[in-house]
Chains A and B, each alone.
Chain A
Amino acid sequence: GENVEQHPSTLSVQEGDSAVIKCTYSDSASNYFPWYKQELGKGPQLIIDIRSNVGEKKDQRIAVTLNKTAKHFSLHITETQPEDSAVYFCAAIGTGNQFYFGTGTSLTVIP
């Protein structure tokens, strides 16, 4: 099955700086990669996703890049704000449409 690795596990940045979270996956057949943000006491919320037919996708301050050859993808948050503080999970789709999640990155944006 799919194995998704995520790092770093914790990340602290100053407000206004950029944050980058990286993930690798093992199954070359995976073709859909969502990113979820989880705030305390809430369920994961989809923030951006990318399909294997594109290398980059951007939505305002959030961007995701995908390198299919190397089997890694990254989340980039620019101009970070305190409300960006949360746990971020990457995921890759497996057979049967279930997601395999990374172990999460706890992002803290310091005002």
Chain B
Amino acid sequence: EPEVTQTPSHQVTQMGQEVILRCVPISNHLYFYWYRQILGQKVEFLVSFYNNEISEKSEIFDDQFSVERPDGSNFTLKIRSTKLEDSAMYFCARGTGVNYGYTFGSGTRLTVV
């Protein structure tokens, strides 16, 4: 069983629609992250979440994005009004602490049409 489960594996949405990507870390880790990877490009940091609060966010993570851990287990990334350029693989990850490697989920492929 994967340590970090992401759903859905693939989502197609129309431009302007809201999407929610879900991640179940299945652990008691405190550090969670969202990254994205546009096809053929590097993995880019979006946001880090520690102790149920955003600790860092990148320039990509603008007002259209939000994260929540609504029930203490699921970790969600919401994009309020999707744009074509939001099409990418989105990975969540969990960490054990500062200066330790992450465990990434298998990703959600978001396609905005």
Q: Which residues on A are within 8 Å of B, measured CB to CB?
A: 31-32, 34, 36, 41-46, 49, 51, 89, 91, 93-104
- 9-residue interface stretch from B11-19, B66-74, B76-84, B102-110: B102-110
Cβ A44 vs Cβ B91 within 8 A: yes
* B41, CB-defined interface residue at 8 Å: yes
Q: Please measure, in the bound complex, the distance between the C-alpha atom of A31 and the C-alpha atom of B98, giving whole angstroms.
A: 11
A contact residues around B101 at 8 Å (CB) = 34, 46, 49
Cβ A89 vs Cβ B43 within 8 A: yes
**A43-B105, A96-B56 known, 6 other contacts, Cβ within 8 Å:** A34-B102, A43-B4, A43-B104, A93-B99, A98-B48, A98-B58
The count of chain B contact residues (Cβ–Cβ below 8 Å) is 26
Cβ B99 vs Cβ A97 within 8 A: yes
B contact face: mostly helix, strand, loop, or mixed = strand
Other-chain contact of A99, B41, B102, B105, B106 (Cβ < 8 Å): B102
What is the minimal beta-carbon distance from B58 to any residue of chain A, in angstroms?
Answer: 7
Q: Which of chain B's residues 39-88 have a Cβ closer than 8 Å to chain A?
A: 41-45, 48, 55-56, 58
Other-chain contact of B42, A31, A41, A49, A104 (Cβ < 8 Å): A104
What is the minimal beta-carbon distance from B44 to any residue of chain A, in angstroms?
Answer: 7
What is the minimal beta-carbon distance from A91 to any residue of chain B, in angstroms?
Answer: 8
Q: Please measure, in the bound complex, the distance between the C-alpha atom of A59 and the C-alpha atom of B44, giving whole angstroms.
A: 27
Q: Which residue of B lies closest to A51 (CB)?
A: B99
7 CB < 8 A contacts A-B: A36-B43, A43-B104, A45-B104, A93-B99, A98-B45, A99-B102, A101-B42
With contacts A96-B55, A97-B99 known, is A43 near B91, CB below 8 A?
yes
